[in-house]
Structure 1
């Protein structure tokens, strides 16, 4: 899989939590950002924030096997709003007009907000041969210089009325890579990322100041040539012990890139091997634990004032808002729900049945208490006591059996649609929300002509 495709997945991790619905700085949950993958300067230890991130993975290959390391993170940028009083037709010769800093400013309907943005950073190493680093670690320093950018804002009458000042600080880090041969053609790779940015005494005491010099959403992409990584989630039987000995601090390594083993993503967010972005998703919502359709509908339901504030957050939030408004009816329909093989049964309303053997056929009928239960039969729903609100709502309903399926543990699940559901045709087509799963013990076959 090409690195660009892997980075598309990694970028979803990079911007997870960047800004959350309702995408406004005034929202309480957006006042504490950069919560994933933080690597703070070593001198800051006021609240137990980590100053390093370490990942260990297993690699199969010979001494000539080579790999690449891409360390990626966000650097926080402070954005301030300066108001010019009075407005100016032109900048002074030195380009530094007098500014009054404010939390927000309205300029002809455009709201300027003081907040934080981010810059994507990357430090890359490789190709590195495992044989070259088995007797001593390779330590590579990196540094990104700070900058101050001033964007002057003109009103409709042409006068300069404000300035947006973006400030980033110089940050420094080190990447340490080493290899340990565990057995012939089996290596344990260690990648250690450390923030060595110096701090002044005041900066050591204030988390907000240290955050501006931290690495946020830090993760690493590892790719290999002439070798293969080993899954730490599902290692081969003979490598279980070696996988269990891998030490990971602040990250969870998973295989990425199709179904091969040539790349690994060490993510600060727990993922499964071979994560993928749903093809129906129109773009990043920065809120990956939510459902695209729900977030999209909520964005569309926001007031004009709320959308105006969202558009003022930054270019990414503004693009998200514009993209959401541009969705067509077909785009929205694609978000409504897709059935995929290879996932587990999650709930009555989102039944995705996983099977161990994809060639295993669906059942056509069951023998229940001497009575034959088949696809198309009518049944009465009898959910087990102690269920959730969905069980209460569906109790005693008359339904039609649409499918009889087996999960990865060979348990049988009966998929039904409700006779009185106006959207029953959607359930018959496999759409969640109109198709429900019950165990064989929770349904009661009924005779022809009984019920509605």
Structure 2
């Protein structure tokens, strides 16, 4: 296949989205403790695996993924750019050099800085399509692709002496991208876009075949970047009211599309096998790729740095990416580790929003969600005939339905009402800070309170009188 090429403007927009797409591509690629011998690294490739259709029958594996969403192209010359990204396995075997210049199979090559063992590496692959939106109407288009089998080898030297070699094998992988678009009924110039990626490899399992054999012919961590120019995508997660019915009819199988462009733009979408929110972001505190987004970076970095020298040596020989994680953990300065510890986003968001509210008093910090009739700072609830609202003083009387034993210590304590909130089910919650609590100012700054229902409080005697 020729090298994939996208128009310069599309390439620029996709480049920004690939930071998120890369996190999807390599999620779970190799897990702590980053050694091939670790049990958790023996069953790999859990997300977005599209296996050959002959293998997926009667197994919990899929040969295709389907993305459907609404698009609003602007003008007859609108184009859709598609970039399919996936990993392709490259199986590595190890051979030791003999004195006569021949090579024989080996379980491992023991070097000073690493221990080389058999391993399946992941090679990044891209397939791109750039097509006029007008060509997608009706039956749409099909774009088949084929990646040929390939063999490579790498000599291994130590101190200038040939000690062995690594053999690499990539199997043939075939697939197809199917794109089509149909008009959405109604006054809006919207289309329902369908993008299907399917593995069409002819490989079929033989007697004794295992999942690893099928993975060699699979598309792994497969996901799709979609770009529209000029035009925009409609959020599938939070569609506007006019699009809700049409979005509900979209079929998304084995992936989920989310907007991944910057604020104020909606011309790039990522169809991911891992469910994300619209416009996801990589944590700015993260020092680098650790291949496990479900872990806490600080803990993972500290545990990796604490591996023994022998464990690090094996990790470095398992995979170049695993070795990079070990080197990263060993090189993190104290200030970077401090940055990973105790980042409180809620505090930052409340502070930022309150600062904005200072400049624009009409914007409350609590965000009413567009409902002008709900205002926790002015709403009230009637308790024992008294209107209780923000600024009121109450006595706490936790009920028996409370399961936290510490609530009993609050019985009879007085508190300041910070807000009265109504939830979507019609229940009322009174947010308070307890009198005499030395952390009250900190909780208030973070927007964190204790919550009681109206039958669990009473106006203080002065207010009742």
Matching residue of 2:275: 270
Matching residue of 1:4: 15
Higher helix proportion (structure 1 or 2): 2
* CA shift digits 1:151-177 (9 cap, x unpaired): 221233x32112122211121111111
Matching residue of 2:242: 238
For normalisation by structure 1, the TM-score amounts to: 0.78
1:271-420 counterparts in 2 under 5 A?
Answer: 271-340=276-345, 355-356=367-368, 396=409, 404=418, 409=423, 413=431
Matched, 1:66 2:70: no
Retained in 2: the 8 A contact 1:85–1:100? no
1:35-434 counterparts in 2 under 5 A?
Answer: 35-46=46-57, 47-62=59-74, 63-86=76-99, 97-102=102-107, 104-126=108-130, 128-156=131-159, 158-183=160-185, 184-199=188-203, 202=206, 205-259=209-263, 260-340=265-345, 355-356=367-368, 396=409, 404=418, 409=423, 413=431
* CA shift digits 1:287-336 (9 cap, x unpaired): 11222222222223333333332222211111112112222222122212
Q: Secondary structure at the match of 2:196?
A: strand
Most deviating of 297-306 and 206-215: 297-306
Q: Secondary structure at the match of 2:92?
A: strand
**Structure 1 residue 23, shift from structure 2 partner:** 2.1
Retained in 2: the 8 A contact 1:296–1:324? yes
Retained in 2: the 8 A contact 1:363–1:403? no
Retained in 2: the 8 A contact 1:219–1:267? yes
**Structure 1 residue 365, shift from structure 2 partner:** 13
* CA shift digits 1:39-58 (9 cap, x unpaired): 11122235242111111110
CA distance in 2, matches of 1:167, 1:270: 32
Cα-Cα RMSD: 4.1
CA distance in 2, matches of 1:151, 1:3: 33
**Structure 1 residue 354, shift from structure 2 partner:** 7.1
Retained in 1: the 8 A contact 2:82–2:224? yes
**Structure 1 residue 419, shift from structure 2 partner:** 6.6
Most deviating of 306-315 and 365-374: 365-374
CA distance in 2, matches of 1:308, 1:208: 25
Q: Secondary structure at the match of 1:258?
A: coil
CA distance in 2, matches of 1:54, 1:363: 46
Give 5+ residue unaligned stretches, structure 1.
346-352, 448-452
